Amino acid sequence: MASHWLMKSEPDVFGIDDLAKKKTGGWDGVRNYEARNFMKVMKVGDKVLFYHSNALPSGVAGIAEVCREAYPDPTQFDRKDGHYDPKAAPDKPIWFQVDLRFVSKFPRFVPLDELRGMPELADMALFKRSRLSVIPVTPAQWMRIVKRGG
């Protein structure tokens, strides 16, 4: 059975409309071990809430799904890339990414304010761990949020 996740992206850099246009997108640049570990256990077909962070307003913009499981993030080896990690080498990669496929854009954007107001979501790491960019979502939470998205 597919797992559910919430993944953050800054819409100024890569938002739901960018994914819709490209159909698929690589989730590179994650440099947090916990977020990386979550990506490592993702399976093709896992469902993802596409969250806009650092946005006005921030919130869930739509749905994507995992279309390629974790593989080494090439930006860690690229000196010219802002995500370059000198401790990583191609034979011992540190950072991984998954690829996502666009599924749908919510007819109704669900802002963070509204998520905060939903008692079913009170336990979500989204609120307690504000800096975590990849967050597991329970099926019940998933259903609630998707319903709000119309």
> Which residue in the set 4, 8, 47, 105 belongs to the binding site for DNA (CB under 7 A)?
8
- Chain positions 72 to 101 lying near DNA, rule: CB under 7 A, are none
Is the Cβ of residue 28 or residue 46 nearer to DNA in the bound state? 28
Radius of gyration of the chain (CA): 15
At closest approach, how far in Å is the CB of 5 from DNA? Answer: 13
For residue 42, give Cα distances in angstroms to 16, 71, 99: 20, 11, 10
Q: Taking CB under 7 A as the rule, does residue 110 contact DNA?
A: no
> Which residue in the set 2, 26, 31, 136 belongs to the binding site for DNA (CB under 7 A)?
31
Q: Taking CB under 7 A as the rule, does residue 132 contact DNA?
A: yes
Sheet holding 4-9, edge to edge: 24-26, 96-111, 59-72, 47-52, 4-9, 134-137
> Which residue in the set 21, 40, 43, 128 belongs to the binding site for DNA (CB under 7 A)?
128
Q: Taking CB under 7 A as the rule, does residue 20 contact DNA?
A: no
Q: What are φ and ψ of residue 11, in 5° steps?
A: -60, -25
> Which residue in the set 6, 19, 49, 55 belongs to the binding site for DNA (CB under 7 A)?
55
Long-range contacts of 118-122 (CB under 8 A, 24+ apart): 118/144, 118/145, 118/148, 120/144, 121/145
Q: Taking CB under 7 A as the rule, does residue 130 contact DNA?
A: yes
Distance CA 92, CA 125 (A): 30
142 with 49: CB under 8 angstroms? Answer: yes
Which among 14-22, 50-58, 63-71, 100-108 is the span making contact with DNA, rule CB under 7 A? Answer: 50-58
User: What residues make contact with DNA under the rule CB under 7 A?
Assistant: 8, 10, 31-33, 53-58, 112-113, 128-133
